[in-house]
Amino acid sequence: MLTVLHGLADQRPFTALRTVLVCPFKATALREGPAVEPGTEAAWLMFLCSEHRGGLPGWPAVEIHADTSSVPRGRVLDCRPVEQLLQSHADLWLTPLTGVQPATSGVAWSDVLGQADRVLAARLEREAGG
Ligand SMILES: [Zn+2]
């Protein structure tokens, strides 16, 4: 039987497979992200259970499909170019957590992560009374 996943993911290169949510329920929905570029295929595919189907507002869907594949819930198959993937991480959690904003072009991600690490280390030290 051909699943929705096969139709959306067949023959596509993935840049990352990761788990953005951990829960004990079976995946029943496949959230299809926006296109990488206009007229192209979905940037990412996310597998969610019925409890979390509407969660994660930072990952807006262009469509949600019923899913019967065996991909574990909370997993994301990401097709975005690496630069877009890293920028998404910065936008969704790194910048809100640390205040560190990557420059708009020519980002040295190791420098961004180093700055974020220094911000968090200083915060921990302050909180520990140091
Ligand atoms: Zn769930």
Predicted local distance difference test score (pLDDT) of residue 125 = 96
Q: 116: CA distance to ligand 1 center in Å?
A: 30
Q: 52: CA distance to ligand 1 center in Å?
A: 4
Tell me the pLDDT tens digit for each residue of 1-33.
457 777 777 777 888 988 888 888 888 899 999
Predicted local distance difference test score (pLDDT) of residue 1 = 43
Predicted local distance difference test score (pLDDT) of residue 104 = 64
Shortest CA distance to 3 belongs to which of 21, 30, 34?
30
Rounded CA Rg of the chain: 17
Cα–Cα distances in angstroms (integers) from residue 103 to residues 55, 98, 99, 106, 111, in the given order: 30, 15, 12, 7, 11
Predicted local distance difference test score (pLDDT) of residue 89 = 86
Q: 76: CA distance to ligand 1 center in Å?
A: 13
Report how many helices (DSSP H) and strands (DSSP E) the chain contains, helices first: 4, 5
Contact 110, 44 (CB under 8 A): no
Tell me the pLDDT tens digit for each residue of 43-62.
899 999 888 888 888 788 88
Q: 20: CA distance to ligand 1 center in Å?
A: 11
DSSP 107-125: --HHHHHHHHHHHHHHHHH
pTM for the full predicted model: 0.74
